């Protein structure tokens, strides 16, 4: 009788457990919550997003899901910010959201113009509340992309100079600086194509020395012609870079050494690295310079570039048109 009674009790208790004791849904410990961080307007760039690593570590800056398994993917334009949380944190967050609506993260649009330097980008990010300029600088000096190579050269004042693509981005206020960096590197990869590091250095000078696609190709021809002839480049833009981004930098030490490596009135050949972050116009000119015999140029008071094959022609043109500096 005792066994029969126990069996009957189990039968009557079971329906209550099925209806009122549903097991909680399992949340994997390595799950991630992805928040929005996109390149809002990148010229000629396909939009694709690469997720963050589930543990919050720096991801493949330019790789899309599936790349590690050998799947091909289109270049990513900007990586989304991702926050890795434990299963308990996600579960409690979900419970809270059922009780009260969650505020949307505050976002801000920020434009990085063609020709901006890393120092200027640090200042703009901080001014817009996106992240600390110093934190962004520190991350950019140590980060290693996995899908393309950026030289780790101690002679370069800013490791990421040239590789942060100019565009209009949308970031969350208070973003992780690594996520911001990844977005810009993804945009670079999507737009730069097979541009070599040397071509990027040329493009950075072209960006600062020209104001149109036609003049960009002509300026590039002057640079390559002078390099081939073994002439010093003597580009004013490199001297200006030293003054604005090296000598006055709050982040750099040993600025005199960097000054000598970037000022093309003092160093031979190209500067040690790019002098700004160029756009696609300058990149295209560095890849496809005009075919000329020009070795000299200047920007005249008539708001035009003037090109010459000889020093005598150059000096005569400067006397005729005057020179605009800066």
Residue 65 has pLDDT above 80, yes or no: no
Predicted TM-score (pTM) of this structure:
0.71
Measured CA to CA, the distance from residue 326 to residue 322 in angstroms comes to 13
Residues facing 307 on adjacent strands: 297
Q: What is the pLDDT of residue 323?
A: 93
Per the CB < 8 A criterion, the answer to whether 199 and 288 are in contact is no
Q: What is the mean pLDDT of residues 88-94?
A: 34
Measured CA to CA, the distance from residue 41 to residue 60 in angstroms comes to 22
> In angstroms, how far is the first alpha carbon of the chain from the final one?
103
Q: pLDDT tens-digit profile of 264-284?
A: 999 999 999 999 999 999 999
For the chain, the structural domain boundaries read 32-63+74-96+105-192, 197-292
DSSP code per residue over 12-23: HHHHHHHHH-PP
Measured CA to CA, the distance from residue 116 to residue 166 in angstroms comes to 8
Q: What are phi and psi of 224, to 5 degrees?
A: -65, -40
Q: What is the pLDDT of residue 137?
A: 98
Measured CA to CA, the distance from residue 158 to residue 251 in angstroms comes to 10
| 181, two tokens | 């960096």
| 86, two tokens | 């434990």
Measured CA to CA, the distance from residue 246 to residue 325 in angstroms comes to 20
């Amino acid at each position: 009788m005792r066994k029969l009674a126990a069996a009957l009790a189990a039968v009557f208790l079971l329906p209550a457990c099925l209806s009122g004791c549903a097991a909680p849904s399992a949340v994997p410990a390595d799950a991630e919550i992805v928040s929005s961080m996109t390149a809002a307007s990148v010229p000629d760039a396909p939009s694709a997003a690469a997720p963050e690593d589930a543990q919050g570590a720096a991801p493949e800056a330019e790789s899309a899901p599936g790349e590690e398994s050998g799947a091909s993917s289109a270049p990513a334009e900007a990586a989304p910010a991702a926050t890795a949380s434990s299963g308990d944190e996600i579960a409690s967050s979900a419970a809270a959201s059922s009780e009260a609506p969650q505020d949307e993260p505050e976002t801000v649009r920020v434009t990085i113009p063609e020709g901006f330097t890393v120092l200027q980008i640090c200042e703009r990010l901080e001014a817009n509340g996106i992240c600390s300029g110093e934190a962004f600088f520190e991350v950019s000096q140590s980060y290693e992309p996995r899908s393309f190579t950026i030289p780790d050269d101690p002679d370069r004042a800013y490791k990421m100079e040239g590789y942060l693509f100019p565009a209009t981005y949308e970031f969350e206020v208070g973003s992780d600086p690594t996520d911001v960096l990844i977005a810009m590197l993804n945009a670079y990869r999507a737009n730069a194509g097979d541009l070599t590091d040397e071509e990027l250095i040329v493009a950075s000078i072209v960006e600062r020395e020209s104001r149109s696609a036609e003049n960009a190709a002509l300026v590039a021809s002057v640079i390559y012609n002078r390099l081939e002839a073994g002439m010093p480049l003597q580009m004013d833009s490199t001297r200006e870079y030293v003054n604005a981004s090296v000598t006055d930098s709050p982040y750099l030490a040993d600025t005199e050494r960097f000054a000598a490596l970037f000022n093309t009135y003092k160093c031979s050949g190209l500067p040690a690295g790019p002098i700004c972050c160029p756009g696609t116009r300058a990149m295209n000119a560095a890849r496809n310079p005009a075919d000329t015999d020009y070795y000299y140029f200047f920007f005249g008071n008539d708001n035009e570039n003037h090109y010459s094959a000889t020093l005598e022609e150059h000096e005569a043109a400067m006397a005729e048109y005057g020179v605009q500096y800066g």
